[in-house]
Amino acid sequence: MTVRDEILGANERYAAQFDKGNLRAPPGRRFAVVTCMDARLDPARFLGLEEGDAHVIRNAGGLVTDDALRSLVISHHELATQEAFVIGHEACGMIGLSNERMRAQLGPAAEAVDFLGFADVHQAVRDSVRRIQESPLLPDTFGATGYVYDVRTGRLRQVT
Ligand SMILES: [Zn+2]
């Protein structure tokens, strides 16, 4: 069985029991999460989320990039979320990722790409929280807090 068959089979089973077709689009718990795409992280499970609860915005590193900020602005202004949790994690593949190495590997097409690697996940989370706080497109009342998830224990710790 291919991965494609597996995921389509899983979806058949999910849809067969699905009973949440009447959810509204605005997240019921009025928050958004920005976190890493790392396969070891399952925000729905480690944050206790159900369908309809929250926006989950994921990218490599869980960074508040321009595009993540775009999503947060829409999340707040169009869909009424009131705060964001930025969640980095230990052993992130973005720690130490260098533009030089990526560009050497990928060639000229990668010259203009900033892959946004970082040295310290705590600092990366702080910088992301600050981008939310300083965005002129989000009000001061929009909350932003940062956490680091430990992939060994499943535990979140707040970044101060
Ligand atoms: Zn990561």
Which residues, by Cβ under 5 Å, contact ligand 1, an ion? 36, 38, 92
Q: Which residues of the chain have pLDDT under 70?
A: none
Range of the domain at 155: 29-159
DSSP 96: T
Distance separating alpha carbons of residues 142 and 129, to the nearest angstrom: 11
- Checking DSSP bridges between strand 54-59 and strand 83-89, what pairing results, if any? unpaired
Residue 28 is predicted with a pLDDT of 98
Report pLDDT for 1: 86
In a domain, 147, yes or no: yes
Strands 156-159 and 31-36: unpaired
Query: CATH number of the domain that 89 lies in?
Result: 3.40.1050.10
Looking at residue 150, the DSSP 8-state letter turns out to be -
CA of 128 to the centre of ligand 1 (A): 14
Check if the beta carbon of residue 94 is closer than 8 Å to that of residue 118.
Answer: yes
Q: What is the 88 CA–ligand 1 centroid distance (Å)?
A: 7
91 sits in the region (left: phi over 0; alpha: psi -120 to 50; else beta) called: left
For the entire predicted model, the pTM comes to: 0.96
Pairwise CA distance, residues 21 & 79, whole Å: 18
Contact 150, 90 (CB under 8 A): yes
Do residues 53 and 29 touch, judged by C-beta distance below 8 A?
Answer: yes
- Split into its structural domains, the chain has a count of 1
Whether the CB-CB separation of 72 and 32 falls below 8 Å is answered with: yes
Domain assignment present for 87: yes
Alpha-carbon distances, residue 84 vs 20, 73, 78, 130 (angstroms): 24, 11, 15, 12
Q: If you measure from the C-alpha of residue 149 to the centroid of ligand 1, how many angstroms do you get, rounded to a whole number? A: 10
pLDDT tens-digit profile of 14-48? 999 999 999 999 999 999 999 999 999 999 999 99
User: Residue 130 falls within a domain, yes or no?
Assistant: yes
Rg over CA atoms, the chain: 17
Q: Let me know if residue 1 belongs to a domain.
A: no
Q: Is 123 helix (H, G, I), strand (E, B) or coil?
A: helix
- Could you tell me if residue 107 is inside a domain? yes
